């Protein structure tokens, strides 16, 4: 039985469901192993307990939200 382990920070329920489906489908397609035999485990870690480049995921998400809030909401296309 193939095992797929996915580790990440906090994820929404819908995202986890999509990950499980997509990881299983792609793995089955590539390997030829029936998808019913795949075991998928999602390990969520608190955002304060993981970091990239010395910055916690909590802080990275905060900075990303600030950047998105500063972007113009609608960009006119030339044409």
pTM of the model: 0.71
CATH superfamily of this structure's domain 3-70: Macrophage Migration Inhibitory Factor (3.30.429.10)
Comparison of pLDDT for 26 and 74, the residue scoring more: 26
pLDDT at 75: 54
pLDDT at 29: 98
User: Sign (positive/negative) of CA torsion 59, 50, 26, 41?
Assistant: negative
Contacts 24+ apart (CB under 8 A), 35-39: 37/1, 37/2, 38/1, 38/2, 38/3, 38/4, 39/1, 39/2, 39/3, 39/4
């Amino acid at each position: 039985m193939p095992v797929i382990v996915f580790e990440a920070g906090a994820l929404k329920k819908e995202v986890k469901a999509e990950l499980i489906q997509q990881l299983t489908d792609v793995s089955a397609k590539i390997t030829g192993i029936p998808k019913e035999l795949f075991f998928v485990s999602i390990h969520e870690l608190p955002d304060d307990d993981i970091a990239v480049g010395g910055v916690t995921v909590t802080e990275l998400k905060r900075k990303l939200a600030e950047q998105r809030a500063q972007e113009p909401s609608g960009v006119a296309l030339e044409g």
